[in-house]
Amino acid sequence: MYTFVSEIARHLEKDMISFWEKLKDTEFGGYYGYMDFDLNIDRSYEKGCILNSRILWFFSNAYKLLGKENLREDAKRAYLFLKDFCLDKEYGGVYWSVSHDGKPADTSKHTYNQAFAIYALASYYDAAGEREALEMAYGLMHLIEEKCKDEGGYLEAFDRAFRPMDNEKLSENGVMAERTMNTLLHLLEAYTELYRVTKDGMVGERLRYMLDIFEQKVYNRKLGRQEVFFDKNWNSLIDLYSYGHDIETSWLVDRALEVLGDEAYTERIRPITMEITENIYERALLGDSMPNESENGIDDTTRVWWVQAEAVVGFINGYEKNPLGSCYLEAAEGIWKYICRKMIDTRSGSEWYWAVDENGKPLPKPIVEPWKCPYHNGRMCMEVIRRLGDDT
């Protein structure tokens, strides 16, 4: 296990952190928003606000873990860009994207996007003690509760003034969803982080509300998996098994339960997360990697960067919840070896490939763009160090 943890720690410090630090935009602030497959940075490309929030989260947590002052400054750079350019001063909320020099580009508002800003701001408050960041997180939470919620749960897609619109950004596979498992998961994640740093009772109640939805609407007990895309009444729209989201959910829901500390909810919900983990291990782990998803029973055999990263954390979490399940730890270590062989781009000045095919050949997708960020793989590194570092 020592080699496993030490390799990941070295990768985080020597490779990932240095890569993202080199993407600083010293002219317009924040971090560049695009690097193509050939490692060319497009300095005029728009800056996705989700990307910026995830970079803020990454450097805030890297600073908390490693204590190096440069990481605090890296986080501050992302924080200032979010505060000065990503927040809509007129209508509230966070834009989807801004131009390279900070002008509003895609001014639509999405619950998913607001959630990641809360997640990042709460972490930055924890790391830097910046009270203003916490106030901004609270402001976004209250906005979500006022503008993005109806009697059935959370709605997702809105224009700049928070008028509902089609949910194109979080819909895929030929459907147009009014609610998605993905947005609910990351809203839960954001509120978990906010509750962790505040222990605010209202935030805790919203966590319970989302856990109820997860248990009663999203989780399909008959199939032992989550459904993915829904209409407004929580009717599933497609036969889709998202392997990456299920294993990610298993540990993020467990994290919410741990932070919430409500024994009744833990007793109800934890058997579900354990079942999700077991089912993914049995159904989706193919040797030492995981395919992307299964639609109508047919696997998409692409190996996606974030799916492998979340599988490592999810299986370690499964091992911690069931120490007799050593197969989970072995699975996590095996996937890490696969990542080292196939997912990490060893070219100078690169990071992880977006995806490889089933034979391990890289797909020509960007190395950095609005969705490709240090959130999944950076978080994987930090979770492994925090969970297993003392065991080495």
What separation in angstroms does the CA of 280 have from each of 6, 7, 243, 290? 27, 25, 7, 9
Q: Return the domain boundaries, the chain.
A: 2-391
Which segments of the chain are extended strands (E)? 47-48, 97-98, 109-110, 149-150, 153-154, 157-158, 179-180, 219-220, 225-226, 229-230, 240-241, 293-295, 298-300, 303-304, 355-356
Question: What pLDDT is stored for residue 392 in this prediction?
Answer: 46
Q: Quick check: 72 and 123 in contact, CB under 8 A?
A: no
Question: What pLDDT is stored for residue 391 in this prediction?
Answer: 57
What separation in angstroms does the CA of 173 have from each of 176, 222, 229, 293? 9, 23, 9, 11
Q: What digits encode the pLDDT tens for the residues 53-109? A: 999 999 999 999 999 999 999 999 999 999 999 999 999 999 999 999 999 999 999
Strand-pairing partners, residue 352, are 344
Reply yes or no on whether the pLDDT at 2 is more than 90: no
Amino acid identity for residue 336 in this structure: W
The reply to whether the predicted model has a pTM over 0.95 is yes
* CATH code assigned to 2-391: 1.50.10.10
